[in-house]
Amino acid sequence: MKPLKIAVAGLGTVGMGVLTCLAKGGEALAQRAGRELQVVAINARSRGKDRGMVLDHIPWTDDPVALARSDADVVVELIGGEGGVALDLAKAALSAGKHFVTANKALLATHGAALAALAEKNRSALRFEAAVAGGIPIVKAMRESFVGYGVRSVRGILNGTCNYILTRMEATGNEFADALAEAQRLGFAEADPELDVGGGDTAHKLALLASLAFGTAPDLAQMSVTGIRHLTYDDIRFAHEFGYRIKLLGIARQMPHGIDQRVQPAMVKIGTPLADVDGAFNAVMADVGEAGPYFFEGRGAGAAPTASAVVADIVDVARGANGPCFGVPAAELSALTPALPDSRRAAFYLRFAVLDMPGVLAEIAGRLAESGVSIESMIQRGRSPGEPVAIVMITHESPEPAVARALKVIAASDKVLGNPCMIPMETG
């Protein structure tokens, strides 16, 4: 059989990881693929950069979009970004009948449905295992392994930067800014970390998981996104006192009248699988109904894990895997119907910074009661009279809008300092 010819756009950490993996894999990869895997073209912004590997034997293309006009069978896009050159290359490659492999979650979360339709029109494969959770094979599992009973919900720690920061805050007692600075020094966080800590990166990945789970077009507009900047060490410490850890989760659930998609910090009970995920690791838990829960954990970023996922997609293409990239034909991807706001129910952790004055606790409890929210347990830390103190509560299960309405009223009190903190409790 003829070799599978590969063009690679983007020679950063992941791109060089892919070239290294292909070079080292050699004959073993060819055996698994059923044919030789041959890199026939590469592109990056800087041609002369030392990348720690001799690349002189591979033809260089100055224009990444021109890779779509090369003799490659598959184009691998590792440039990044939701539009621009990455989108131009994707359209050009798929229009030319090339197979397309990418690690670009932003591109697919924004343009995934249209690119899937273009791939099917031209009988090309579109694969993106590396776009979600690095080396964890969750995309393939969601697309192929869970079709028997269907997915009811998917929850995941999808951003290693945030998980590292929360783990370090817990271990050291540092506040968010110090833990972020440490993550930046060690290379776990970008110089501009907002996409990570603001929840945007998790949102891109969750949009793809929701599409795979429920047969909907990726939809960022119908997603609630909250990051971790507002969390304090006190929140982490109080969570422990109640028997929980705080994790940034991406959650997609099938509700009675729609799909609930959200990215948010959540309280996860100590000793459960998601709570035990530390450092820069990722994890995904899928509820597959009668087939039971499935839990995946591994490295969510880095050269080797992400390159491993890219190469796995290339091998699938070499074998002839060419089914719909989201598990159902692009024309059958439905528009996502968001769940009704009142259908989102949970117990909530609430933290208030208040003046230590008579009547403040009664006022907070009264406002919650007026919205139909009852208190299960509470911690109050006393200080000198007149100084701010923390009041922390766990509510009984309540509709989220009711809790939010109560907090809005409470925040307006002259006895309450700043906005209250509200974190939902996640079971399992």
Q: Is the dihedral of CA 18, 19, 20, 24 positive or negative?
A: positive
CA 294 to centroid of chain Cα atoms: 17
CA 392 to centroid of chain Cα atoms: 29
Which member of 105, 205, 408, 415 is catalytic? 205
SS3 322: coil
Strand 421-426 with 345-346, pairing: unpaired
Beta-carbon contacts of residue 167 (< 8 Å; ≥ 6 apart): 278, 279
Give me the DSSP letters along 259-320. EEEEEEEEEEETTSTTTT--TTEEEEEEE-GGG-EEEEEEE-SSHHHHHHHHHHHHHHHHHT
Q: What is the DSSP letter of 130?
A: G
Beta-carbon contacts of residue 325 (< 8 Å; ≥ 6 apart): 112, 116, 119, 125, 126, 127, 128, 143
Give me the amino acid identity at 426. E
What is the distance between the alpha carbons of residues 339 and 153, in angstroms, rounded to a whole number?
Answer: 13
- In the residue annotation, 205 being an active-site residue is answered as yes
Per the DSSP assignment, residues forming a β-bridge with 283 are 157, 297
- CB-based contact 424:346 (threshold 8 Å): yes
Give me the amino acid identity at 167. T
Per the DSSP assignment, residues forming a β-bridge with 353 are 390
Give me the amino acid identity at 68. A
Residue 26's region, left for phi above 0, alpha for psi from -120 to 50, else beta, is: left
Beta-carbon contacts of residue 323 (< 8 Å; ≥ 6 apart): 143
- CB-based contact 97:124 (threshold 8 Å): yes
Active-site residue set: 205
